[in-house]
Amino acid sequence: MKNIHNRRDFLKKSAYGTFAGIAGVGFLSGCTEKSEEEEEISPAEDLMREHGVLNRILLIYDHYKTQLGQNADLSLAPLLQSATIIRRFVEDYHEKLEEDFLFPRFEKAGNLTDLVSVLKDQHKAGRILTDQILNLSKAKTLTATDAKKLIQLLNGFVVMYRPHEAREDTVLFPALKKIVSSHEYSALGEDFEKKEHQLFGEDGFETMVNRVSEIEKQLNIYDLAKFTFGAQ
């Protein structure tokens, strides 16, 4: 990354030294804007990295499934925080983008309509699961019946969303560029960014990643090395 930034700085300085006397500062400004545009995240990449946040919460759900199954005495506060991120960031924002901007375009184009139909049904089912997970994770203590129910809910969410996000990443998102123009594709990226900033601030994605990291640290599952096969 250091080499890339150094090269970028060199190109900017060279452009200024060569052309500033002819085109003035406006030329350099134009180069900067173009560079920023080239570094923008595409709609597909934006959605896929948000899936990364979802996947990390699925690992948190896995952790709670295991602990609850072992009758462990654990705080439900991190689970409540995780389910709240699912509600606000995944369902109310990420999935809303898919439902408002992606699914209608595929339906209008008559492309992957069967897949879109299933994805929409799973969004609805996911929100029902999240309602119940939020409700149970607010309890100070869980009865044995409630703990069993919570395990079932967490498992249902994980089992549904792992293939859900994988199918979107490998089939739906790559197909988007085939049904929209290059201009429309770029405009979608700008729409996504505006919505993210509107709801979560300028560093919305980074904020969510940091929140998930803090939850992982609370649960002692942040260290990636712990997931290495054969690690003690």
CA distance 108 to 32: 37
Residue 231 lies in a domain: no
113 and 137 part of one domain: yes
How far the first Cα of the chain sits from its last, in Å, is 33
Q: What is the pLDDT of residues 114-155, one digit of tens each?
A: 999 999 999 999 999 999 999 999 998 899 999 999 999 999
Higher-scoring residue by pLDDT: 156, 1 = 156
31 and 46 part of one domain: no
Structural domain tally of the chain? 2
Q: Tell whether the model's pLDDT for residue 47 goes beyond 70.
A: yes
Where do we find the tokens 């969410």?
Answer: 157
Tokens matching residue 222: 């942040």
125 and 166 part of one domain: yes
| pLDDT confidence bin for 39, thresholds 50/70/90 | low
Where do we find the tokens 């599952």?
Answer: 221
The whole domain housing 27 covers 2-36
CA distance 192 to 86: 18
The mean predicted confidence, pLDDT, of the chain is 87
CA distance 215 to 211: 6
Residue 73 lies in a domain: yes
∠ at Cα 181 (177, 185), nearest 5°? 60
Q: What is the mean pLDDT of residues 97-116?
A: 98
